[in-house]
Amino acid sequence: MTMRAVNVSDGISWVGAIDWGLRDFHGYDTPRGTTYNAYLVQGADKTALVDTVKLPFVDELISRVSDIMDPAAVDLIVVNHVEPDHNGGLRKVMEAMPNARVVASRAGVAGVAEYHDGLEIEAVGADDVIDLGGKTLRFLPMPMVHWPDSMFTYVAESKTLLPNDAFGQHMASAERFADEVGYHLALTELSIYFANILTPIAKQVGKAVEKLDATGWELDVVAPSHGVIWRGDGIGKAVDGYTRMVAGETQDKIVVAFSTMWDSTKTLATAIADGIASEGTETVVFDLAESSIATVTHELLDARALLLGSPTLHHGMLYRVAGYLQYLAGLKPAGKLAGTFGSYGWSSGACKQMNGQLESIGFELPFESFTQKYRPTTQDIQDAREWGVQFARAVKER
């Protein structure tokens, strides 16, 4: 059976793969799976494949190319990014396309050699134009958005940008376009991807959007390497979404995340959240033993503060809280407040440990931690609620 290619714009077709089963993308949980998008650009004289796919999905890509043409007749392969979800299948794709030149950014050439045991390909840059006959490929290196090798490819005649991971989302779907799955879902997934992958390079993403704007390239279609494709008014929505996230736009919102042993810290979390909500501040509560860290991190994206709770075990925090702090240490969310709370038995080391790590990540901690011994009494619960009220007021004042 030949799998179907999907027309994206004039002369450009989606020939990627759908990974319905992916549930973990290097630690970021992906409940909707993902896609590895690759695009065939057909000129009057030559055909180019822009990006390949993760190695186990190469047969799917080749099948979709075969829906249009003989893969052996492809003339050019563009490697926009060397991360294995796009470049892992390169050698196998090259076997099916033995006549194809392979190009990447200068850093991409080095990256491909590293990943594929010395494989030699050619470098292209911002000054290069590859003419396919009525369709031209232009390149915009985007170092550190999000790897040194990252590059955008643009097809002027089709007003189509192929920006690899940028504007992507981890979402498998039968539909290929954002307007088909619905903008609410597509933009939510765009922001989940941003929160969990792009947060530490938000400034570079902002510069990338400016650099793209400065090209003056007209855009009818923005086709990333994951998830659905943006076209028409969807492009403005995606760019606006990036602009807001890059600016760190937040709401009057506090995320409460905790882990618990015998439900005492959970009781405190619930009381604190009730106090926050009584001030009219939005709040969401997560038990880290039950929750996806990608979801917690996504909720934190537009929140002003994080309250982290852990009881004390062996003089420190529970491992799930430590794991989440390690995840945040990589992402380094900027400009947010934090506080800690938790119950303890006979020594209270968890909050001190959490405070130190939150400060080193860059959170500002305006309040003393809220701690309580053994089981929360009625008074403890009232005090925890009041602590939530006071924290919400402090966040509002900022």
Decide whether 60 or 165 has the Cβ nearer to ligand FEO. 165
Judged by beta carbon, residue 64 or residue 226, the one nearer ligand FEO is 226
Residue nearest to ligand FEO (CB): 83
Closer residue to ligand FEO, CB minimum distance, 22 or 121? 22
Q: Pick the closer one to ligand FEO by CB: 165 or 189.
A: 165
Shortest distance (Å) from residue 313 CB to ligand FEO: 36
Q: Looking at 36, 39, 60, 81, which residue is catalytic?
A: 81
Find the shortest distance in angstroms from Cβ 87 to ligand FEO. 9
Q: Are 348 and 340 in contact (CB under 8 A)?
A: no
Q: Are 161 and 221 in contact (CB under 8 A)?
A: yes
Q: How far is the CB of 24 from ligand FEO (least distance, A)?
A: 14
Residue 165 annotated as catalytic = yes
325 neighbors 362 (Cβ within 8 angstroms): no
Buried residues in 252-288 as b, exposed as e (16+ CB within 10 A) = bbbbbbbbbeeebbbbbbbbbbbbbbebebbbbbbbb
Which residue, chain included where needed, has tokens 């430590």?
322
Nearer to ligand FEO, 100 or 197 (CB): 197
Active-site residue (options: 226, 242, 324, 344): 226
User: What is the spatial distance between Cα 311 and Cα 375, in angstroms, rounded to a whole number?
Assistant: 11
> Of 51, 165, 189, 383, which residue is the catalytic one?
165
Per the annotation, the verdict on 81 as an active-site residue is yes
Minimum CB–partner distance for residue 56 and ligand FEO (Å): 15
Coil, strand or helix: which one is 122?
Answer: strand
Q: State the angle between helix axes of 293-301 and 319-331 in degrees (0 to 180), rounded to the nearest 10.
A: 50
* In the complex, least distance from residue 226 CB atom to ligand FEO, rounded to whole angstroms: 6
What residue type is 302 in one-letter code? Answer: D
Q: Which is nearer to ligand FEO, 27 or 232 (CB)?
A: 27
* 170 included as an active-site residue: no
> Two tokens at 375?
């089981």
- Choice between 79 and 392, CB closer to ligand FEO: 79
Catalytic residue among 51, 85, 299, 383: 85
154 CB neighbour count, 10 Å cutoff: 20
Residues 21 and 18: their CA atoms lie apart, in Å, by 9
Among 39, 86, 146, 380, which one carries the catalytic annotation?
146
Helices (H), the chain: 58-66, 84-87, 90-96, 106-115, 178-181, 183-193, 202-215, 233-246, 264-278, 293-301, 319-331, 350-361, 378-397
198 closest CA partner among 144, 257, 143: 144
Catalytic-role residue among 83, 149, 380, 383: 83
Of residues 330, 250, 318, the one with CA closest to residue 287: 318
Using CA atoms, how far apart are residues 88 and 84, in angstroms rounded to an integer? 4
* Catalytic residue of the set 36, 39, 154, 193: 193
Q: Contact residues for ligand FEO (CB under 6 A)?
A: 81, 83, 85-86, 146, 165, 225-226
Residue 61 Cβ vs ligand FEO, minimum distance, rounded to whole Å: 15
- The yes-or-no answer on residue 315 being catalytic is no
Based on the residue annotation, tell me whether 127 is a catalytic residue of this protein: no
In the complex, the smallest distance separating the C-beta of residue 146 from ligand FEO, rounded to whole angstroms, is: 6
Active centre residues (catalytic) = 26, 81, 83, 85, 146, 165, 193, 226
